[in-house]
Chain A
Amino acid sequence: MKNRRGRALFLLLIAIGLLCAVTVAGGLLAGSAEFADFSRKNLPPCLAFPFGTDRMGRDMLARALAGLSLSIRIGAFTAVISGAVALLLGTASALLGGPVDAAISWVIDLVMGVPHILLIILISIACGKGTFGVVAGVALTHWPSLARLLRGEVLQLKQAPYIQMARRLGASWGRVLWGHFLPHLLPQFLTGMILQFPHAILHEASVTFLGFGLPPDQPAIGVILEESMAYLSTGRWWLALFPGLSLALTVALFALLGERLRLLLSPVRSQE
């Protein structure tokens, strides 16, 4: 823990550990998140139920954890898919150039022109709403910014003297791609993808909250918060406060994780 890199690595591991713990705990608690007991309904937070209980006597802590677990899994899945799309289209756009580049750039502008929420709603409707709809929506809307970034990187790399030199010395494209492009692009790609997690998670929760995402029988954070709306004016504040807070913490953890990873992988700061 002597230097900044050591500290960053330490924090990174803690963040990963915490997120894994929440994911696993949420998965294990899926049963008790659904368990209703009307003898204990509408309890404010207490020792036995730190997050309180809802109108059906369900434990809000279990529901929040199960929801977070669902959010993290969907977030990871969609971020990986949109990362792959970004990598494919970004590099194809830069390497092939010409009409392919123009077409891909046009599509990027197109996707960026419609607000994410609206586009996710449209895609979700196209897929018949539900889990599949929101997953497809989030996965297909988050790639353009990363694709643009990667395109810029590859364009710059293509002109770099050492790449030109390698080609002149007779290295095949495959060798140049593997030996020169990949080590340069991988850190950018990884951090870019992990920094998409927070957006993906927030958008999934938002779209579910609006009623275009996960079905109401799932303990998703969006569903929980949507239900809590009905009890706001009667003063059941715990229904909205804790699940939302835990979601915000999870998202912040992902954002920090991305930042630390960027710090660790950036060659400029490897001597700190």
Chain B
Amino acid sequence: MGHRLRFTARKLARMVLLLLGVSLTAFLLMNASPLDPLQTNVGQAALGAMSPEQIARLEEYWGVNTPAAERYLRWLGDALRGDFGISLLYRQPVLEVIGQRLSNSLWLMASAWVLSGALGLALGVLAGTRRGRWPDRLVRGYCLVISSTPSFWLALLLLMVFSVWLGILPIGLAVPIGAEHAGVTLLQRLRHAILPALTLSVTGVANIALHTREKTADVMERDYILFARARGETAIVRRHVLRNVALPALTLQFASIGEIAGGSVLVEQVFSYPGLGQAAVSAGLGSDMPLLLGITVVTAAMVFGGNLAADLLYGVIDPRIRRGAAGT
């Protein structure tokens, strides 16, 4: 037990250090930006019409004159106490904005994560057990097509077919236009989330399917499979293949959280879905540095959390590691 605890503690410490690194890198990148927040948000014409005092006040609001190191340390100190600052565009605390947006995005990302994982695993095993035959060719072809397709273009196509031509699904947003917050039903929310979730799931399949295929084909050539066949076993896939393939697939799936988060940025933009990704784009375009910094840190935390979960699950699921840990 002590071994496992130490392992977890070491991983956690590394994760905290990485998060610090991410926040510092993101901060430095934003700080290096030559884009003037006043120019992008207020506009040249309006700036020209303003008095120097007004401009000075705006500069203070966007933090133009404070030194970078001081700003970062102040931000870090506040962030450790749970205060990520005020979003300049939404004029709300950053954590509140992120919370609202994340609750919208989490639906999408979770369903896409589960769907793409299950589908990818199934397709990978299917292709791997029938290597060289038509199911394999079909799956490989699908993976090539889908990994070559820009996800935002796929989103555009789906939007065109289902919302414009067939008119059976809404064209964007998370709730019907003009609906009151309290009056929105679960069904309406689901209908708005179908297309974005579908796009994200479909594009997420390729990676895991191809890896599982490799691994399955590898397992199928082992002696124990030959032996199982010789004994006349029928459930070879369930008993031998799945057990060996599930672990790497699980690791891969946890590692894919970053990709799904990245994909959601594009997909949410096409569907005008008010999620975290869309907020990141608006924050980037509008020089809302506190919000962009907050989103980067939160997203990185999700990615590192996923990796940590994979490391820990490995110990729980894999009997070899479990027994090895118990033995020491």
Chain A positions near chain B (C-beta within 8 angstroms): 106, 109-110, 112-118, 121-123, 125-129, 198, 202, 205-206, 209-212, 225, 228-229, 232-233, 235, 237, 240-241, 244, 247-249, 251-252, 255-256
Q: Is the CB of A128 within 8 A of B33?
A: yes
Q: Is the CB of B270 within 8 A of A229?
A: yes
Q: Is the CB of B296 within 8 A of A117?
A: no
- Residue among A110, A125, A228, A252 making CB contact with B22, cutoff 8 Å: A110
Cβ contacts under 8 Å, B159 to chain A: 232
B98 smallest CB distance to A (angstroms)? 14
Tell me, in angstroms, the Cα distance from A225 to B17 when the chains sit together: 39
Please judge, given known A-B contacts A116-B262, A122-B296, A210-B281, whether A110 and B25 are in contact too, CB under 8 Å.
yes
Q: Is B299 an interface residue (CB 8 A)?
A: yes
Q: Is the CB of A244 within 8 A of B265?
A: no
Please judge, given known A-B contacts A114-B296, A251-B148, A252-B145, whether A211 and B153 are in contact too, CB under 8 Å.
no
Cβ contacts under 8 Å, A212 to chain B: 284-285
Q: Is the CB of B281 within 8 A of A112?
A: no
Please judge, given known A-B contacts A125-B29, A256-B144, whether A106 and B18 are in contact too, CB under 8 Å.
yes
Interface residues in B29-54 by Cβ distance below 8 A to A read: 29-30, 32-35
Q: Is the CB of A114 within 8 A of B153?
A: no
List the B residue with the shortest CB-CB distance to A234: B164
Cβ contacts under 8 Å, B18 to chain A: 106, 109-110, 113
Q: Is the CB of A229 within 8 A of B148?
A: no
Tell me, in angstroms, the Cα distance from A205 to B304 when the chains sit together: 27
Cβ contacts under 8 Å, B171 to chain A: 233
B297 smallest CB distance to A (angstroms)? 9
Most buried by A among B18, B33, B269: B33
B149-163, CB under 8 A of A: which get 1 and which 0?
111110011011000
**3 nearest interchain CB pairs?**
A115-B262, A244-B153, A252-B148
Tell me, in angstroms, the Cα distance from A109 to B255 when the chains sit together: 12
- Residue among B35, B147, B270, B299 making CB contact with A255, cutoff 8 Å: B147
A-B contact pairs, 16 of them (CB 8 A): A114-B303, A117-B266, A118-B261, A118-B265, A122-B26, A122-B284, A125-B35, A125-B292, A198-B147, A198-B148, A202-B148, A209-B266, A225-B152, A229-B156, A229-B270, A237-B164
Q: Is B93 an interface residue (CB 8 A)?
A: no
Interface residues in B278-299 by Cβ distance below 8 A to A read: 280-281, 284-285, 287, 292, 295-296, 299
Interface of B is mostly: helix
Q: Is the CB of A210 within 8 A of B22?
A: no
Q: Is the CB of B300 within 8 A of A114?
A: yes
Cβ contacts under 8 Å, B285 to chain A: 211-212
- Residue among A121, A205, A252 making CB contact with B280, cutoff 8 Å: A121
Tell me, in angstroms, the Cα distance from A123 to B26 when the chains sit together: 9
Q: Is the CB of B156 within 8 A of A232?
A: yes
Tell me, in angstroms, the Cα distance from A127 to B30 when the chains sit together: 9
Q: Is B135 an interface residue (CB 8 A)?
A: no
Q: Is B258 an interface residue (CB 8 A)?
A: yes
Tell me, in angstroms, the Cα distance from A232 to B167 when the chains sit together: 13
Tell me, in angstroms, the Cα distance from A241 to B21 when the chains sit together: 41
B155 smallest CB distance to A (angstroms)? 10
Q: Is B259 an interface residue (CB 8 A)?
A: yes
Most buried by A among B30, B35, B151, B171: B35
Cβ contacts under 8 Å, A252 to chain B: 144-145, 148
Q: Is the CB of B160 within 8 A of A237?
A: yes
Tell me, in angstroms, the Cα distance from A255 to B17 when the chains sit together: 36
Q: Is the CB of B144 within 8 A of A255?
A: yes
List the A residue with the shortest CB-CB distance to B262: A115
Tell me, in angstroms, the Cα distance from A58 to B280 when the chains sit together: 33
Tell me, in angstroms, the Cα distance from A211 to B263 when the chains sit together: 16
Q: Is the CB of A112 within 8 A of B258?
A: yes
A12 smallest CB distance to B (angstroms)? 16
Tell me, in angstroms, the Cα distance from A109 to B22 when the chains sit together: 10
A85 smallest CB distance to B (angstroms)? 16
- Residue among A117, A123, A198 making CB contact with B262, cutoff 8 Å: A117
Tell me, in angstroms, the Cα distance from A123 to B285 when the chains sit together: 13
Q: Is the CB of B280 within 8 A of A113?
A: no
